Structure 1
Amino acid sequence: MRKRHLALGAMLVAGAMLLAGCSTSGGSSSDTVNKNVDGAGKTLTLWHFESETSAMGIAWDQAIKTFEKETGAKVKFEAKSFEQIRSTASQVLNSNAAPDILEYNKGNATAGLLSSQGLLSNIDKAVDAYGWDKKLAPSLQTTAKYDDKGIMGSGSWFGVPNYGEYVEAYYNKDMFAKYGIEVPTTQDELVTAMQKFTDAGVTPLAESAAEYPLGQLWYQLALTKADRAFVDDYQLYKGKVDFSGPELSYATATIKDWVDKGYISKDVTGAKAEDAGTSFISGQYPIFFSGSWWYNRFNTEVKSFDWGTFLYPGAKMSPGSAGNMWVVPEKAQNKDLAYKFIDITMRPEIQALIGNNGGVPVAADSADITDPKSKELIDNFNTLTGADGIAFYPDWPTPTFYDQLNAGLQELINGTKSAKDVNKELGDEYQSGVDDIVNQ
């Protein structure tokens, strides 16, 4: 997941340049969708990049079997790497070698770019026919819709996600019990818990400022003061973002305060995400705030203590998004079969397979999830989506903001810039990047 978020940022520059030269509109939606398509004698060509042992790989393998049984069609599955699809999509999807359906990355520089070039099918009619919009929370629909410039959040549907991801707190239950600390349910309780750990000589937060974890915490702190309008302004360019306003100034000042109080080590300026994650695995820190993609890693590698998860206390929104999407190329030969396959992956039994194998389904029945930790993971996600609480990621708005945010937080921690100066610099860099995109 980390690499996919970084790929989005790294590709936005090239994407914006290509968008500027495009005159093609998005693919046209079919007039009718045949939900009872006869697949006898037909072959659906399908690409995805999930491993066969991953939650999605396991679930989609079963979906293929169900699809073949119900439609009479055969599936020609071609495993591709994420990089293979990313680097060749524009060329392949504009040729007769295009598959009928593939997993593709969401965002302006990826699915948005291809939709603006007319390489992806507009699937509005299929969404209406199958009711996928009824199964996806509004915040999960954002990365499935693109306008004629390829900017997410409005316009037509060009993909359907069937899994999700989000950021939450992982905590060491044994350390919490040792120091008599309860799981916090409010921000004040979290601060009190961290102070108790600090008083006992334990640094509470496993962190990394060289890579994404600290930036996600920074954004989460801003979200405790934010509403959906702020997120829309920040992520979708619907209005000006004031970096001296109550949301972002609070986030930066709080990070500085927590460093000064010892809740975050000053040594994290050079630490990477892997360092933070493995330090939590080793039992060195009681709390690690990061993404659901760590779940399987912790479930497999944490051997010396019991652990659990909780949403950031008191927050109504958290960083996160829908996962990558099923998209149907405009040149696909079997679009109705592709739509049928997408619908099968949205069924409760396939969603349950995702959930019981460590993934985060978007339309599962919680009663179908049998593993306790998986149920906790999914229930937290459902709590967020039910409250329209998915707020995307702090680095998404511009191609360079990931590196700029990390650099700014490093300067904040090592004391070379004040919180006010960091906010001023980040605000200038953010606005410059947004202007480059919207004024193309």
Structure 2
Amino acid sequence: MRQSPRALALVAGIAVALLTLAGCAPGSSNAGQAASGSVSTTLTTKKVTIKIQDETGFPVTSDLAKEFTKQHPNVTFKVVRDSFQNLIANAPRLMASADAPDLIRLPTLGSTVKDGLLTNLDPYFTAYGWDKFPAGQLAGSRMTKAGVRGEGSLWQFGLGYSVTGIYMNQKLADKVGITSIPATIDELEADLQKAKDAGVLPIQTGMQDGVGTFVLQALINQYGDKSKLIDWMFNKSGATFDTDASLKGATTFQDWATKGYLPPDVNAINYTTMVANFTGGQGLFMWDGNWDAANVDKALGKGGAQFFLMPPATKGGKYVAMGAGNTFAVPAKSKNQDTTAYFLNWIATNEKARQIVVDVTGASPGGDPSQKLPSVEKGSLIEKALELSSKVAADDGFTDFIANTTAGIYQGALQPDEQLLLTDKMAPDAFVKAIQAFYVKDLAAQ
């Protein structure tokens, strides 16, 4: 995308509070492995190949690797990719292998800390001065030896910080007579019905691989106290998914399916197909993240789509949205821990690297809030996404993704049970209880 030289003054505060969840300084957890010996912040002069295990559809690591090698020719990269769900399932095995990657996309910590599969990044936190980063930015990447997230030692590092919202096809919005962004869930539902009455698919989403969870959580976020949901996601003692907010969110989600607001073959649509369908003109709305801003802009053209936050339940209510770091971890068996940590610090501090993160993912680069923010094209969806992130941050409204709650909950409960929910094969109250039951079982197994 061609860039404007204009700096993003309007989002000057976004890096300060992208994840305004409670954070703390490095803890005393001894689980996992500390970086071997005394760490070095000097880049090696030897020839090194860094192996990155990443998910399909997240190209930023390749772009960052190319730029890093351009600046430091002695360091090259091998990037291996797999689907998100396969990566989650296979991550422990990959990290335990003799040929473990040096850096792995790891959205969920699960039992990896307790099992000693990760490098404790506390020494690098100190050596590189990551205490300059907002504490909340790293909170979700911390875990205690008791398995509680949000505190303790640092085990992950984010490559850009996301925000989720709703994309709207402007051509279809004009067709059905929508002239403004909905300010409440009731107004949103009125727009869904307008689209249905006009013969336009209201919501493009899919549940084959669980991407419809974006819609479900967006509803739950608006119906209750986000701190209770965060406590549950961070595995705090006594926290539960079995709440009025979860029940209302699940009930509404099922109701939307019953009313025909979702694709009739929703359980056969995966993430890639969802995005392709939406950019191909199938669907008025799509719940998705800022990482697809550039794709949507390119497919529908400038002004062809809008991106807005999930509206609150009541007009004037605070915004709540999913947003987290695109988290990676350094396996304990990495043979290049210092070089990999240097690469991570470079991503957060180097001007060209930060620009790549914004250009490719539409996400804030995070890091020290005193650093200059990258520029973006005026009027682009990436510019809008960064503006929305600032709004959520101002409302202290960020939450993690419920799919990251435990190692197995995405594939083992959310994906299959939402498929049942959307086809009326599971009642909302049974769904909520089933998710909580799986959560308890999964935590006990860790």
Q: Which amino acid aligns with 1:369?
A: V
The offset of 1:141, in angstroms, is 1.9
Structure 1 residues 29, 283: CA separation in 2 closer, same or farther (over 3 Å shift)?
A: closer
Q: Which residue of 2 aligns with 1:145?
A: 142
* Residue of 404, 414, 422 corresponding to 1:405: 414
Structure 1 residues 38, 277: CA separation in 2 closer, same or farther (over 3 Å shift)?
A: closer
- Which is helix-richer, 1 or 2? 1
Q: Which residue of 2 aligns with 1:344?
A: 346
Residues 82-127 of structure 1, C-alpha deviation per residue, up to 9 Å, x if partnerless? 57994432122xxxx667x424423224xx51x4344433221321
Task: Tell whether the 8 Å contact from 2:148 to 2:236 is kept in structure 1 after alignment.
Answer: no
Q: Which residue of 1 aligns with 2:200?
A: 202
Residues 109-164 of structure 1, C-alpha deviation per residue, up to 9 Å, x if partnerless? 4xx51x434443322132133232433561x4244223225664332112322223
Q: Which residue of 2 aligns with 1:55?
A: 60
Q: Which amino acid aligns with 2:413?
A: Q
Counting aligned pairs with the same residue, the percent is: 19
Task: Tell whether the 8 Å contact from 2:51 to 2:79 is kept in structure 1 after alignment.
Answer: yes
Task: Tell whether the 8 Å contact from 1:44 to 1:338 is kept in structure 2 after alignment.
Answer: no
Partners of 1:329 and 1:401 in 2: how far apart?
25
Task: Tell whether the 8 Å contact from 2:251 to 2:428 is kept in structure 1 after alignment.
Answer: no
Task: Tell whether the 8 Å contact from 1:47 to 1:80 is kept in structure 2 after alignment.
Answer: yes
Task: Tell whether the 8 Å contact from 1:405 to 1:426 is kept in structure 2 after alignment.
Answer: no
Task: Tell whether the 8 Å contact from 1:208 to 1:268 is kept in structure 2 after alignment.
Answer: yes
Residue 91 in structure 1 maps to residue 91 in structure 2 = no
Structure 1 residues 275, 305: CA separation in 2 closer, same or farther (over 3 Å shift)?
A: farther
Partners of 1:356 and 1:252 in 2: how far apart?
35
Structure 1 residues 65, 210: CA separation in 2 closer, same or farther (over 3 Å shift)?
A: closer
Task: Tell whether the 8 Å contact from 2:218 to 2:321 is kept in structure 1 after alignment.
Answer: yes
Q: Which residue of 2 aligns with 1:431?
A: 437
Structure 1 residues 287, 125: CA separation in 2 closer, same or farther (over 3 Å shift)?
A: same
Q: Which residue of 2 aligns with 1:9?
A: none
Question: How is 1:185-200 mapped onto 2 (pairs within 5 angstroms)?
Answer: 185-200=183-198
RCO greater where, 1 or 2, for CA within 8 Å and sep 6 or more?
A: 2
Partners of 2:442 and 2:52 in 1: how far apart?
32
Residue 368 in structure 1 maps to residue 379 in structure 2 = no
Partners of 1:53 and 1:203 in 2: how far apart?
28
Task: Tell whether the 8 Å contact from 1:60 to 1:350 is kept in structure 2 after alignment.
Answer: no
Residues 151-207 of structure 1, C-alpha deviation per residue, up to 9 Å, x if partnerless? 643321123222234432111112223324212233233223223323433332123
* Residue of 277, 280, 304 corresponding to 2:278: 280
SS of aligned partner of 1:278: helix
Partners of 1:401 and 1:334 in 2: how far apart?
29
Task: Tell whether the 8 Å contact from 1:205 to 1:285 is kept in structure 2 after alignment.
Answer: yes
Residue 78 in structure 1 maps to residue 78 in structure 2 = yes
Structure 1 residues 33, 416: CA separation in 2 closer, same or farther (over 3 Å shift)?
A: closer
Q: Which residue of 2 aligns with 1:159?
A: 156
Q: Which amino acid aligns with 1:405?
A: L
Q: Which residue of 1 aligns with 2:5?
A: none
The offset of 1:333, in angstroms, is 5.7
Number of residue pairs aligned between Structure 1 and Structure 2: 397
Residues 324-357 of structure 1, C-alpha deviation per residue, up to 9 Å, x if partnerless? 325264664662x443332211124311122123
Q: Which runs of 5+ in 2 are unaligned?
A: 1-29, 313-317
Q: Which amino acid aligns with 2:385?
A: L
Structure 1 residues 38, 311: CA separation in 2 closer, same or farther (over 3 Å shift)?
A: closer
Partners of 2:429 and 2:303 in 1: how far apart?
39
The offset of 1:241, in angstroms, is 4.9
SS of aligned partner of 2:194: helix
SS of aligned partner of 1:185: coil
Q: Which amino acid aligns with 1:58?
A: D
The offset of 1:219, in angstroms, is 1.3
Q: Which residue of 2 aligns with 1:258?
A: 256
Q: Which residue of 1 aligns with 2:324?
A: 321
Larger Rg: 1
Q: Which residue of 1 aligns with 2:8?
A: none
Partners of 1:124 and 1:273 in 2: how far apart?
35
